[in-house]
Amino acid sequence: MITFAGAYTALITPFCDDGTKVDLGRLGNQVAFQAQGGVRGIVPCGTTGEAPTLAEHEHAAVIECAVSTGRPLGLQIVAGAGSNSTAQAIHLHRLAASLGAHAALQVTPYYNKPSQEGLYRHFMAIAESAELPIVLYNIPGRAAVTLLPETVERLAKHPNIVAIKEATGSMDSASEIHRRCSIAILSGDDSLTASFAAVGAVGVVSVVSNLVPDRVARLCHDIASGDLHALRRSHESLFGLSRGLLALDVNPVPLKCAMAILERDTGAVRLPLVRASEQVRAAIESLLREAKVSGNTDSLERSKLRETSATS
């Protein structure tokens, strides 16, 4: 069993220009970049990784690449393995275990809207299926169902259920979970990481750390150290980018656009998602400049020149 605390990056899945193939070479580079930035772990095949659009052989290849690259660099690998089918979630959970992941991220079943008892039985069946730690993923905005604190308390009694990615945006929910049990709470929203820490969260599963892993790792270091002034500075340095990036379009569209501007990704997403519009791209370029996030060979400056030329 492993403990969970600190910064975990919800990895994008890089695609070639037309989105037909996964770019494993670029994925390996991104994993190495995360390790250099000092994050605790990486989360492949989650929401940010467009897992619903991956064929099973692609899903396996992404996890395998994350494990083979990330493990030697000291990263914890928390592989997305969730489904709204309990049987499929068990299958993916066992697959993640066989590929060498340290843990699996298990999202609440989406679309079919189970009861709390159904959620309990779903996660317990997965927990019994393999000796692999589980990070619960509570995201009612996408799943249309909320894992309530009392159900989390019941689930936390199982030795394989050890953490929760709390993406409810609710301080009350995080507070109640912390009051009821000792499960590790990880913020599921970058802009709320510092706030959640105040009520017991110990880290974050971060989107923005795809761009600035060092800054998110610093934020989590400040949480662990209890240095409130340093934590406030770290939070403020990330807040504009964290809030702005995810307000412009659905994740990971703005993130992949930002990475394309920084020349670290093609920006391609798979249908039903579509690339960021030119208006959104211009807003993202401004966000990156304001946050002083630089890319390869001054790519942001070249973007600024293109923007100036287009309006002249």
**Any idea which residues carry the catalytic annotation?**
137, 165
Within 8 A by CB and 6+ apart from 188, the residues are 137, 138, 139, 165, 166, 167, 168, 204, 205
Q: What is the 3-state secondary structure (H, E, C) of the chain?
A: CCCCCEEEEECCCCECCCCCCECHHHHHHHHHHHHHHCCCEEECCCCCCCHHHCCHHHHHHHHHHHHHHHHHHCCEEEEECCCCCHHHHHHHHHHHHHCCCCEEEEECCCCCCCCHHHHHHHHHHHHHHCCCCEEEEECHHHHCCCCCHHHHHHHCCCCCEEEEEECCCCHHHHHHHHHHCCCEEEECCHHHHHHHHCCCCCEEEECHHHCCHHHHHHHHHHHHHCCHHHHHHHHHHHHHHHHHHHHCCCCCHHHHHHHHHCCCCCCCCCCCCCCCCHHHHHHHHHHHHHCCCCCHHHHHHHHHHHHHHHHC
